[in-house]
């Protein structure tokens, strides 16, 4: 089974190479949106949807895509193919979204968002009317929360506390799975997305769409 990590990355490759090597070692193909190679950054949702569409064009055997960030690591105890087969068995195919929740960083904040989700090919092809698995209005914040809500709404969301995709968030205090979040300076490449203005704007989009039942998320 083909499993591709499809994420944008704004950091220099010398800072992220060791992370991506871990994904490759576990059997994942790594497919990145890097600004200097692909032009102006269009926001997280558009970038990931574009990567997924292009990946499907390149490799017709892809069955699962993993989202997240360049600060997230793969589960160290299972290969990509092992997890893919488990997902296929659970969903009876690839119409589904699975989120590992074994990393309990920040009091288990991962429980409410699909922050480093596994997205099945059929879900990617059919959700949002065939336009991709992420709602393109989100530039950064709340895109993962809507993904989770929509998958739950459709009855195709699976949380797995037995899998750990460690999120080395800049506010993480330690590598312990139950690490708390502590105040630290926001890295330069994330400053734009960590303002109150961006949070409030994204939250307003999410809340409005939730009240309306996430219009446009209906599958083909």
Q: What is the CATH number of the domain that holds 66?
A: 3.90.550.40
Output phi, psi for 91, to 5 deg. -90, -10
Task: Decide: 73 and 13 in contact? Cβ < 8 Å.
Answer: no
In a domain, 148, yes or no: yes
In a domain, 184, yes or no: yes
- With a pLDDT cut of 90, the percent of the chain lying above it is 91
From residue 52, give the alpha-carbon distance in Å to each of 64, 164, 184.
Answer: 10, 23, 33
Mean of per-residue pLDDT scores for the chain: 95
In a domain, 206, yes or no: yes
How far is residue 71's CA from residue 102's CA, in Å, rounded to a whole number? 16
In a domain, 216, yes or no: no
Domain span at residue 64? Answer: 2-211
How far is residue 158's CA from residue 115's CA, in Å, rounded to a whole number? 13
Over residues 132-188, the pLDDT tens digits come to: 999 999 999 999 999 999 999 999 999 999 999 999 999 999 999 999 999 999 988
Q: What is the dihedral of CA 91, 159, 19, 184, to 10 degrees?
A: 150
Q: Is the pLDDT of residue 217 over 60?
A: yes
In a domain, 220, yes or no: no
DSSP3 helix / strand / coil % (the chain, rounded to 5): 45, 15, 40
Q: Let me know if 43 is exposed, middle or buried by CB neighbors in 10 A (0-12, 13-18, 19+).
A: middle
At residue 129, the pLDDT reads 95
At residue 123, the pLDDT reads 98
In a domain, 42, yes or no: yes
In a domain, 78, yes or no: yes
Number of domains the chain contains? 1
pTM above 0.85, yes or no: yes
The pLDDT of 2-27, averaged and rounded, is 96
């Amino acid at each position: 089974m083909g499993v591709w990590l499809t994420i944008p990355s704004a950091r220099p490759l010398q800072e992220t190479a060791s992370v991506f090597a871990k994904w490759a070692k576990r059997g994942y193909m790594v497919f990145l949106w890097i600004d200097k190679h692909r032009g102006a950054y269009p926001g997280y949702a558009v970038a990931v949807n574009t990567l997924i569409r292009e990946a499907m064009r390149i490799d017709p055997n892809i069955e699962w895509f993993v989202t997240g960030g360049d600060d997230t690591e793969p589960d160290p105890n299972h290969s990509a193919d092992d997890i893919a087969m488990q997902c296929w068995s659970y969903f009876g195919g690839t119409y589904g979204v699975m989120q590992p929740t074994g990393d309990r960083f920040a009091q288990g904040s991962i429980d409410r968002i699909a922050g480093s989700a596994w997205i099945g090919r059929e879900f990617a092809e059919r959700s949002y009317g065939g336009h991709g698995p992420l709602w393109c209005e989100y530039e950064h914040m709340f895109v993962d929360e809507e993904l989770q809500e929509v998958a739950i709404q459709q009855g195709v969301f699976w949380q797995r506390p037995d899998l750990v995709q460690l999120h080395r968030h800049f506010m993480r205090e330690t590598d312990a799975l139950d690490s708390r979040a502590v105040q630290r300076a926001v890295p330069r490449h994330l400053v734009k997305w960590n303002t109150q203005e961006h949070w409030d704007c994204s939250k307003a989009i999410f809340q409005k769409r939730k009240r309306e039942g996430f219009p446009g998320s209906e599958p083909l």
